[in-house]
């Protein structure tokens, strides 16, 4: 099955979901926990629980498959979090990676200047209490650390503020050690660290987070063509994963929004309760990175065309998104509290794309005190567990068990009942429509694999 042939999930018009609903579900069902909670937590840092790590891995793997595995002109690397400190001087982060901050002289609250409403900026007034604001001060977002064991002889460096720098550092090694020729791209998924002044909105703005990057190297004359290509590809990729297609858009950056390295940029934006917000940036980085690293390292990072012998600094198209923002947006997109037609408690359901759902199937014996049912159910569970993430559940009545699985987005439940013992068929119950079909036991594995795997 290819990316465009994926099964569509039924979409209903549902209201924008409050972030608190997702925070609560994530804690309750083991997707995300606050970091160091027993010590009071650290703002903007989170841990991922048993279901969270499955969802995260599926998101990462699908990105890697789409970007690296199925593109002949793209390869992957995994770089380190700590690099030589000169990297961050060359990249411009030491000088330019700053937020402008203002403090309220009255209530002492601190704000990012660019996050203040226009009116408060003009009047120099606090949006909370109306007090006078201080002059803006620059605050660098890079997190410092030290390498070495001898006091006084330690080297100050930084935890990487953007993951992509490793790609420029390894670009020449990749060229020399693989058969890549320009145009080609290098991908990476990895952690980044920012001393965000105002972390918040759960996973949306954190201090430790994970990015995925493509850096695509091209001849300057082909820059425009590749910029368009990747912009369209990335927009289509996000669209393929969400239910609410009308909540996705591409927005060009205005000149005052551009990062210090970008000549042009588009954001893939998604609409949530927080408004339209960036999900991924597509940046026209031109020759900024390789020129700067050539200049600061003294190494020529230019490329000689094997045919024309032209020597030039390649230009770069960057597509840079967040694993955590994807995690959050997909949960916001999938969450629904569906009213019960009989007036009972609403059904909480995650309409996650089956490809990335953390658990693919739950196997449920109708009754746990009937050994024949339990044995058949456990055999099937063991068989499925080898090829997909499966759960076995025999606690409480079948309706409750379905609800538990709906709440974590499990696309299929298989029930082993008394008819199974007679004719070797099972009930397959699907999450979104709650429809049920009967299927021979020996067809279950293939039936599921076709529906829960993107590359089966």
Residues binding ligand GAP (CB under 6 A): 162, 164, 194, 196, 205-206, 209, 211, 278-281, 318, 320-322, 324-325
Closest residue by Cα to residue 171 from 320, 316, 323: 316
Q: Which helix (H) or strand (E) holds 139?
A: strand 137-140
E-strand ranges in 244-343 read 248-252, 264-272, 275-286, 303-304, 311-312, 315-322, 335-338
| Buried/exposed code over 119-156 (b: 16+ C-beta within 10 A; e: otherwise) | ebbeeebbeeeeeebeebeeebbbeeeeeeeeeeeeee
> Do residues 320 and 164 lie in contact, with contact meaning Cβ atoms separated by under 8 Å?
yes
> Looking at beta carbons, which residue is closest to ligand GAP?
322
The residue among 327 and 335 lying less far from ligand GAP, judged by its C-beta, is 327
For ligand GAP, which is the closer residue by CB, 250 or 439?
250
Q: Which is nearer to ligand GAP, 234 or 431 (CB)?
A: 234
- To the nearest whole angstrom, how small is the minimum distance from the Cβ of residue 292 to ligand GAP? 14
Query: Which CB, 285 or 429, lies closer to ligand GAP?
Result: 285
Decide whether 89 or 310 has the Cβ nearer to ligand GAP. Answer: 89
The CB-of-391 to ligand GAP minimum distance in angstroms stands at 30
Give the nearer residue to ligand GAP in terms of CB position, either 172 or 196: 196
* Cα(448)–Cα(452) distance, integer angstroms: 6
**Tokens 């002949």 -> residue:** 72
Least Å distance, CB 322 to ligand GAP, is 3
CB of 331 to ligand GAP, least distance (A): 14
Q: Minimum distance from CB of 356 to ligand GAP (Å)?
A: 17
The DSSP secondary structure of 19-65, one letter per residue, reads: HHHHHHHHHHHTSEEETTGGGT--TT-EEE-HHHHHHHHHHHHHHHI
Instruction: Choose between 212 and 412: whose C-beta lies nearer to ligand GAP.
Output: 212
381, two tokens: 């569970």
Minimum distance of ligand GAP from residue 228's CB (angstroms): 19
Q: Which two tokens stand for residue 143?
A: 């997190």
Tokens read off for 273: 């309760």
Tokens representing residue 271 in the block: 């609409």
Residue 58 beta carbon to ligand GAP: minimum distance, rounded to whole angstroms: 18
Give the nearer residue to ligand GAP in terms of CB position, either 324 or 417. Answer: 324
Q: Which residues contact 270 (CB under 8 A, 6 or more apart)?
A: 238, 242, 247, 248, 276, 277, 279, 329, 333
Answer yes or no: are the C-beta atoms of 355 and 63 closer than 8 Å.
no
Give the nearest distance from C-beta 21 to ligand GAP in angstroms. Answer: 20
Least separation in angstroms between CB 432 and ligand GAP: 27
Cα(60)–Cα(279) distance, integer angstroms? 15
* Least distance to ligand GAP, CB of residue 79, Å: 13
Q: How far is CA 361 from CA 51, 80, 243, 281, 357, in A?
A: 13, 36, 21, 34, 10
HEC string for 165-230:
HHHHHHHHHHHHHCCCCCCEEEEEEEEEECCCCCCECCCCECCEEEEEEEEEEECHHHHHHHHHHH
Judged by CB, which is closer to ligand GAP: 29, or 325?
A: 325
Could you tell me the smallest distance in angstroms from the CB atom of residue 320 to ligand GAP?
4
Q: Are strands 143-147 and 155-159 parallel, antiparallel or unpaired?
A: antiparallel
Task: Report the side by side order of strands in the sheet with 110-112.
Answer: 110-112, 98-103, 137-140
The nearer residue to ligand GAP, 105 or 260, going by C-beta atoms, is 260
Location of structure tokens 């425009």: 224
Of the pair 318, 394, the CB lying nearest ligand GAP is at 318
């Amino acid at each position: 099955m290819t990316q465009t042939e994926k099964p569509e999930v039924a979409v209903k018009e549902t209201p924008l979901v409050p972030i608190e609903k997702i925070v609560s579900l994530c804690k309750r069902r083991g997707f995300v926990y606050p970091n160091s909670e027993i010590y009071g937590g650290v703002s903007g840092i989170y841990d991922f629980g048993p279901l969270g790590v499955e969802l995260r891995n599926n998101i990462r793997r699908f990105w890697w498959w789409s970007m690296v595995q199925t593109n002949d002109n793209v390869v992957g690397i995994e770089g380190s979090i700590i690099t030589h400190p000169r990297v961050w001087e060359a990249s411009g982060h030491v000088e330019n990676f700053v937020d402008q901050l203002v403090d309220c002289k009255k209530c002492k609250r601190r704000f990012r200047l660019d996050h203040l409403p226009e009116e408060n900026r003009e009047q120099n007034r606090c949006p909370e209490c109306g007090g006078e604001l201080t002059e803006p001060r620059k605050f660098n977002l890079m997190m410092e650390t030290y390498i070495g064991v001898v006091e006084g002889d330690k080297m100050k460096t930084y935890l990487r503020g953007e993951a992509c720098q490793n790609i420029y550092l390894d670009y020449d090694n990749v060229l020399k050690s693989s058969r890549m020729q320009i145009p080609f791209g290098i991908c990476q998924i990895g952690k980044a660290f920012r001393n965000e002044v105002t972390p918040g909105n759960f996973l949306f703005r954190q201090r430790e987070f994970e990015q995925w990057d493509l850096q695509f190297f091209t001849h300057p004359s082909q820059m425009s063509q590749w910029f368009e290509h990747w912009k369209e590809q990335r927009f289509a990729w996000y669209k393929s994963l969400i239910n609410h297609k009308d909540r996705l858009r591409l927005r060009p950056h205005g000149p005052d929004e551009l990062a210090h390295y970008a000549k042009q940029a588009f954001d893939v934006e998604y609409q949530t309760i927080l408004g339209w917000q960036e999900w991924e940036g597509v940046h026209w980085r031109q020759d900024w990175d390789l020129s700067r690293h050539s200049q600061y390292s003294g190494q020529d990072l230019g490329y000689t065309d094997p045919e024309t012998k032209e020597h030039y600094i390649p230009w770069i198209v960057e597509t840079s998104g967040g694993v955590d923002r994807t995690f959050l947006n997909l949960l916001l997109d999938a969450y629904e509290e569906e009213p019960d037609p009989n007036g009972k408690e609403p059904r909480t359901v995650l309409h996650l794309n089956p490809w990335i759902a953390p658990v693919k199937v739950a196997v449920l014996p109708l009754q746990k005190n009937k050994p024949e049912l339990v044995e058949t159910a456990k055999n099937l569970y063991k068989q499925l567990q080898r090829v997909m993430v499966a759960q076995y559940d025999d606690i409480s009545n079948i309706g409750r068990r379905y609800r538990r699985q709906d709440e974590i987005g499990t696309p299929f439940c298989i029930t082993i009942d008394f008819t199974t013992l007679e004719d070797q068929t099972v009930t397959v119950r699907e999450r979104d429509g709650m429809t049920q079909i009967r299927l021979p036991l020996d067809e279950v594995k293939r039936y599921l694999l076709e529906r829960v795997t993107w590359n089966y």
